[in-house]
Homo-oligomer: A and B are copies of this chain.
């Protein structure tokens, strides 16, 4: 899609799927790392995130610290995760895989594929746990021109709620471990120049 292509053109941005009051929507999760000499430290979370969603970010970071070779970059550089739009309150655990993907993209310099959107809770050991709103999320992905969607394995039964016409135009991968998510979502090549 035009928007996700533009938004995910730099490493550190991943396309998620959310349920809102009026159906589903695509959202972009942005991550950045401050250069060492700019005085930033710790973790900054913005976008009016609720308690559960803030915990998802902590789980994503802890997972990557134990499983991603690039995580040493987190040691002395402040990390910031932002979810636009800035004034819209957001909560829930289903952005866990998207946060992990945005951060892994940033650490590796590999942009996220612009045709891929995802949703799923993650656990500290990297398991992908089921989420709600599969139907609305897939309709939103389809509307936004997404062609590949990553869903938790345990949400497979929910696919039958999705209209046949939409299902036929989406490639859906069911995943049970976040390593599978990263394998599907990250471009194979690092960006020529990494805008950290």
Which residues of B sit under 8 angstroms from A187, Cβ to Cβ?
none
CB distance from A97 to the nearest CB of B (A): 12
Interface string of A17-32 (1 = CB under 8 A from B): 0000000000010111
List residues 148-174 of chain A with CB under 8 A from any CB of chain B. Answer: none
Check: A104 CB closer than 8 A to any chain B CB: no
How many residues does chain A have at the interface if contact means C-beta atoms less than 8 Å apart? 54
CB distance from A91 to the nearest CB of B (A): 8
Contact of A33 among B34, B38, B66 (CB under 8 A): B66
A30 to B125, CA, bound (A): 7
B74 touches A38 (CB 8 A): yes
A32 touches B80 (CB 8 A): no
Q: Specify which of A35, A38, A82, A96 lies most central, judged by the most chain B CB atoms within 10 Å of its CB.
A: A38
A39 touches B76 (CB 8 A): yes
Chain A interface residues toward B at CB < 8 A: 7, 10, 12-13, 28, 30-35, 37-40, 44, 46-48, 51-52, 55-56, 58-59, 61-63, 65-67, 71-72, 74-76, 78, 80, 82, 84-87, 92-93, 96, 121, 123-125, 127, 129, 195-196
Name 21 interchain pairs, CB-CB below 8 A, sorted by A.
A13-B125, A30-B123, A32-B62, A32-B65, A32-B125, A35-B65, A35-B71, A38-B74, A40-B62, A46-B124, A47-B55, A48-B52, A62-B78, A66-B195, A67-B195, A80-B124, A82-B123, A84-B123, A84-B129, A86-B129, A87-B121
Return the 7 tightest CB-CB contacts between A and B, nearest first. Answer: A86-B93, A39-B75, A30-B124, A46-B55, A34-B65, A82-B124, A38-B65
